[in-house]
């Protein structure tokens, strides 16, 4: 498979847009993967990824091309808004509707730092009442290795450097030199699943009170971004919130949703 074919397939399968002059970028990003898989050169790796039954290798390549660097409590203003505005609204709505169902989705979860941060915020806000709720976080991504790491819940110490001290005390435990694990109660709050955001999202029940979809749309072209925003809007409950990345293009989020803060949008209650 040549580079142009790979660029086309990456866009068709996962919506990722690679630059025209992608060869040097691909070689630098994929060198360690080629060492691990034993492919002699980039062309051999791409040919193997195209072969039938090698979907996981193709996904490994895509994962290497995207930046999955994350950490806990990334963008503190988002989690402060979640705790001070969104969760109180959800709590009031649950009481009014006599419901226990809290629905939150981390749509580009990578290794789970974002999803676990959401779960920690919920446990902190609801306190003892949390046990009375049917609450948790759906965490999805296309990167299978990252999802497996997230399910294990073990991270380097630097991943926790920004979390509030109370979260560190209550939700994290040491497991080795410079390694920490999210405690089991919080790990059980998060369900990790593979999902391609540009594919059909019909398997999702919808009615999400909050969706985090941050720092993924930067890899998409404009038509793909618009289709994704339309899908996310449909899956939000009326009055629900969408959080996107500060580097994501907000044009289509503003088109379909009401902006509340930088990179925070709300679905109108009547929709």
H or E element, residue 193: strand 190-194
Higher local confidence (pLDDT), 18 or 169: 169
Which tokens in the block code for residue 58? 């193709």
Report the pLDDT averaged over residues 180-195.
97
Lowest mean pLDDT among 20-24, 55-59, 249-253: 20-24
Eight-state DSSP code of residue 235: H
Q: How far apart are CA 208 and CA 30, in angstroms?
A: 36
- The CATH-assigned architecture of domain 76-266 is 3-Layer(aba) Sandwich (3.40)
Which tokens in the block code for residue 198? 């540009």
Q: Is the dihedral of CA 29, 176, 161, 163 positive or negative?
A: positive
Q: What number of helices (H) and strands (E) belong to the chain?
A: 12, 10
Q: CATH 1.10.155 in the chain: give the residue spans.
A: 3-65
Q: Are 191 and 116 contacting, i.e. CB atoms less than 8 angstroms apart?
A: no
- The single residue listed with the structure tokens 């109370």 is 166
Angle at 260 between CA 95 and CA 77, to 5 degrees: 90
Q: What percent of the chain has pLDDT over 90?
A: 64
Q: What region does 241 belong to: left with phi over 0, alpha with psi -120 to 50, or beta?
A: beta
Q: What is the pLDDT of residue 68?
A: 58
pLDDT in tens, 114-142: 999 999 999 999 999 999 999 999 999 98
Q: How far apart are CA 94 and CA 173, in angstroms?
A: 32
Report the pLDDT averaged over residues 100-118.
96
Q: Are 223 and 117 contacting, i.e. CB atoms less than 8 angstroms apart?
A: no
Report the pLDDT averaged over residues 183-194.
97
Q: What is the pLDDT of residue 265?
A: 98
Report the pLDDT averaged over residues 230-248.
96
Q: How far apart are CA 160 and CA 175, in angstroms?
A: 14
Q: How far is CA 252 from the centre of its chain?
A: 19
Eight-state DSSP code of residue 68: -
Q: What is the pLDDT of residue 16?
A: 81
Check pLDDT > 60 for residue 1: no
Q: How far apart are CA 88 and CA 82, in angstroms?
A: 9
pLDDT in tens, 218-236: 889 999 999 999 999 999 9
- The single residue listed with the structure tokens 């939000």 is 236
Q: CATH 3.40.50.150 in the chain: give the residue spans.
A: 76-266
Q: Which of 180, 114, 170, 110 is nearest to 141 (CA)?
A: 110
- The CATH-assigned architecture of domain 3-65 is Orthogonal Bundle (1.10)
**b/e per residue 56-92 (b: at least 16 CB within 10 A):** ebbbbbbbbbbebebbbbbbeebbebbeeebbeebee
């Amino acid at each position: 498979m040549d580079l142009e074919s790979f660029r086309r397939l990456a866009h068709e399968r996962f919506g990722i847009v690679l630059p025209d002059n992608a060869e040097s970028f691909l070689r630098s990003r994929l060198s360690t993967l080629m060492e691990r898989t034993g492919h002699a050169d980039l062309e051999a790796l791409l040919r193997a990824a195209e072969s039938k039954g090698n979907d996981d290798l193709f996904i490994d390549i895509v994962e290497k091309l995207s930046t999955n660097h994350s950490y806990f409590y990334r963008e503190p203003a988002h989690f402060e808004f979640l705790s001070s505005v969104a969760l109180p609204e959800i709590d009031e709505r649950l009481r009014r509707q006599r419901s226990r169902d809290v629905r939150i989705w981390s749509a580009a979860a990578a290794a789970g730092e974002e999803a676990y941060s959401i779960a920690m915020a919920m446990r902190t806000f609801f306190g003892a009442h949390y046990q009375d709720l049917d609450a948790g976080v759906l965490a999805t991504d296309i990167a299978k290795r990252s999802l497996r790491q997230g399910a294990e819940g073990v991270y380097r110490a630097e991943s926790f450097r920004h979390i509030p001290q109370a979260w560190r005390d209550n939700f994290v435990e040491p497991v080795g030199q410079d390694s920490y694990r999210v405690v089991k109660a919080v790990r059980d709050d998060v369900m990790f699943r593979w999902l391609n955001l540009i594919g059909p999202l019909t398997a999702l029940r919808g009615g999400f009170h909050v969706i985090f979809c941050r720092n993924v749309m930067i890899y998409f072209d404009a038509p793909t971004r618009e289709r994704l925003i339309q899908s996310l809007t449909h899956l939000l409950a009326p009055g629900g919130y969408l959080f996107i990345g500060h580097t994501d293009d907000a044009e289509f989020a503003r088109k379909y949703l009401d902006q509340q803060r930088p990179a925070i949008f709300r679905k109108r209650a009547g929709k």
